Amino acid sequence: MIHGVQVTPLRIIADDRGAVLHMLKHSDPSFAGFGEIYFSRILVGQRKAWRRHVHATSQLAVPNGCVRFVLCDQREGSSSGDTIQEVEIGEMNYQLLTIPPNVWFAMQCIGSTDALIANCASSVHDPTTVERCEVESQTIPYVWRN
Amino acid sequence: MIHGVQVTPLRIIADDRGAVLHMLKHSDPSFAGFGEIYFSRILVGQRKAWRRHVHATSQLAVPNGCVRFVLCDQREGSSSGDTIQEVEIGEMNYQLLTIPPNVWFAMQCIGSTDALIANCASSVHDPTTVERCEVESQTIPYVWRN
């Protein structure tokens, strides 16, 4: 497991009219500040990869569909250096994924419906503090699968 | 229009793999603090009504489906007292709805698919600071429609 990555079960409150799904509170132990909340859809069969945020902690939940996150630790001096970790979360396995700064991550829609990812990031998005890498990269030794 | 209610257009960034949808930044003029982010689903044809938050400002977006919000101002001394306001937002009309404290609100799914509402509230949910009222209430003179 990658140092600093957390996977925290989240509560779903059932309701005949439509459930309520928790995500993140100011008082949660994993809360790292509020910069911005935004959504990213991933259509069936698609991937979005790779990126890492220099400063921001990403807090991710998947209220619709199901997503495989792939994380890769290339932080200098990290105790989990060169580790690759997969985390599959979604509406049927509803958990919060916390990714610390400088950990590479990718997302793949693995369900039969489009997925919606919510990211409650600790800083406002700033393109100068995001690094990107192609899906098929020499830098990150990951073999994609369906 | 109800005093303090804001409807702000939000950006959708198209992407063949799935769009990115903005919601709320720390630096936005309407930002009123971060307490909690959670989701509420509303199934086709359903309503959730009524509630008002004593302290919290609600910041609402609908990344999936389409929702009619009905707002009712019964704040003492309000310049828009006894006004009812409807706001329809959703993935096809993607906007942020800001509801100040003490304004009653209700939500109705008006699309042909289930809707997902995100609420980025300025305080952590506290049942003792939420007032509720039945869908069909003498207090709020609103005639429901489809």
User: Does residue A146 have a pLDDT over 90?
Assistant: no
At residue B129, the 3 state secondary structure works out as helix
Cα–Cα distance, A25 to B124 (Å, whole number): 6
Contact A26 B35 (CB under 8 A): yes
Q: Is A24 exposed, middle or buried (0-12, 13-18, 19+ CB in 10 A)?
A: buried
**Cross-strand bridge partners of residue B121:** B36
Q: With an 8 Å Cβ cutoff, are A20 and B34 in contact? A: no
Q: How confident is the model over B62-89, as a mean pLDDT? A: 97
Provide the 3-class DSSP secondary structure of residue A127: helix
Place of tokens 């990718």: A106
Q: Are A120 and A59 in contact (CB under 8 A)?
A: yes
Q: How far is CA B59 from the centre of its chain?
A: 7
ipTM over 0.85: yes
Nearest to B106 by CA among B50, B54, B63: B50
Contact residues on chain A for B34, CB-CB shorter than 8 A: 26, 34
Check if the beta carbon of residue A56 is closer than 8 Å to that of residue A101.
Answer: yes
Q: Rounded to a whole number, what is the distance in Å from the CA of B12 to chain A's nearest CA?
A: 9
Q: Minimal Cα distance from A62: which residue of B?
A: B39
Question: Best residue in B10, B13, B26 to probe A by mutation, most A CBs within 10 Å?
Answer: B26
pLDDT in tens, A72-130: 999 999 999 999 999 999 999 999 999 999 999 999 999 999 999 999 999 999 999 99
Q: What angle do CA A94, A137, A130 make, to 5 degrees?
A: 65
Give how far A85 is from chain B: nearest CA, Å: 23
Q: For an interface test with B, give the residue of A34, A42, A110, A119 to mutate (most B CBs within 10 A).
A: A34
User: Mind listing the pLDDT tens digit for each residue in A62-74?
Assistant: 999 999 999 999 9
Q: What is the DSSP letter of A93?
A: B
- Tell me, what's the pLDDT at B137? 87
Q: Are B34 and A26 a contacting pair at CB < 8 A?
A: yes
Whole-structure pTM value: 0.96
What is the average per-residue pLDDT within B89-96? Answer: 97
C-beta separation of A33 from A56 below 8 A: no
Split at pLDDT 50, 70, 90, the class of B87 is very high
